[in-house]
A = this chain, B = another copy of it.
Amino acid sequence: MTDLLPPIQTTARDDAVLKALAGFVRQEALGPGEKLPTERILAERLKVSRNTVREALTRWEGLGLVERRQGSGTYLKAAVSPDMLHMPLTLAGGNDFAGLMSTLEIRRALEAEAAALCAIRAGKAEIAEIERKLDLMEEAFQTRAGMSSDEDWEFHQAVFRASGNPLFEQIIAAMYEMFHRFWEHPLGVRDFGHASFPYHRTIFNCIAARDPDGARAEALKLIATVEDDLKRGAANLKLSDRR
């Protein structure tokens, strides 16, 4: 009832260009890192102006699908297919403590669900991969006394990837990005993340045991410790970090 009879597209040059290009990529089986045809060549082949090609590529660049290097060429940055779906996510974030807690709330919701789904759907290979990341992280934790944030992140990424839903990883990556806007100044809490350490293994155990509810519960505990750390840190400095 709302809007049948969609507006006819009398002009959609850029979209047509992108569709054609997606088809080309598919046909040539191009993968990430490989080089696309020159803008000039595309313009000539598709019978459109180079400017139009550029606008189309600009869109793909904005979506992170493609990278343009002046003097070199245009390269695929991710797998593209003619039937992709894009959902631009824009986060207007407060750069303050409240904003940080906001990202954690999202993370709590997603992390719990992803861990549960992972316990249901992960294959053996994926579980092995998660365990490998876990081992790496624990080793880094022993060696460098706590600062294992990179390996920590990779562990979580592996869990998200094994959840079978790519959106989890992508959304959390956005949260991670926002999180890192503050991470440079860890609020004075030096042993940040210590408390969350043991839960990584308990989460993994639940996943390996195919226990979704357990995995969800452990994930919630992990986030809770991070939240506590954060609140403690905020109480520590007590200075209003308005910028």
Give the B-binding residues of A (Cβ under 8 A): 1-2, 4, 11, 14, 51, 54-55, 58-59, 61-65, 70, 78-81, 83-96, 99, 102-103, 105-106, 108-110, 112-114, 117, 147, 165-168, 170-171, 173-175, 177-178, 184, 242-243
Oligomer: number of copies: 2
With a cutoff of 8 Å between Cβ atoms, the chain B residues found around residue A63 in the complex are 62, 88, 90
Task: Please pick, from B4, B65, B90, B167, the residue contacting A85 in the complex, using a CB distance under 8 A.
Answer: B90
Chain B, Cβ-Cβ closest to A3: B184
Interface contacts beyond A62-B88, A84-B90, A110-B110: sample of 14 additional A-B pairs, CB < 8 Å, sorted by A: A51-B51, A55-B55, A55-B58, A65-B90, A81-B92, A84-B92, A85-B177, A85-B178, A86-B88, A87-B173, A89-B170, A105-B168, A106-B167, A171-B171
Q: Is the CB of B117 within 8 A of A105?
A: yes
In the assembled complex, how far is the CB of residue A99 from the closest CB belonging to chain B, in whole angstroms?
Answer: 5
Q: Is the CB of A170 within 8 A of B109?
A: no
Question: Could you pull out 26 A-B pairs where Cβ atoms are within 8 angstroms?
Answer: A4-B184, A11-B70, A55-B58, A59-B61, A59-B62, A62-B88, A63-B90, A83-B92, A83-B95, A83-B242, A84-B91, A85-B90, A87-B88, A87-B89, A87-B170, A88-B174, A89-B167, A89-B174, A91-B171, A103-B167, A105-B165, A105-B168, A106-B165, A106-B168, A109-B112, A109-B113
With a cutoff of 8 Å between Cβ atoms, the chain B residues found around residue A166 in the complex are 90-92, 102
With a cutoff of 8 Å between Cβ atoms, the chain B residues found around residue A93 in the complex are 81, 83-85, 167
Assembled-state Cα–Cα distance A84/B99 (Å): 10
Chain B, Cβ-Cβ closest to A177: B85
Q: Is the CB of B91 within 8 A of A170?
A: yes
Assembled-state Cα–Cα distance A184/B65 (Å): 29
Interface-centre pick from A14, A89, A242 (highest chain B CB count, 10 A):
A89
In the assembled complex, how far is the CB of residue A168 from the closest CB belonging to chain B, in whole angstroms?
Answer: 7
Q: Is the CB of B108 within 8 A of A113?
A: yes
With a cutoff of 8 Å between Cβ atoms, the chain B residues found around residue A4 in the complex are 184
Chain B, Cβ-Cβ closest to A55: B58
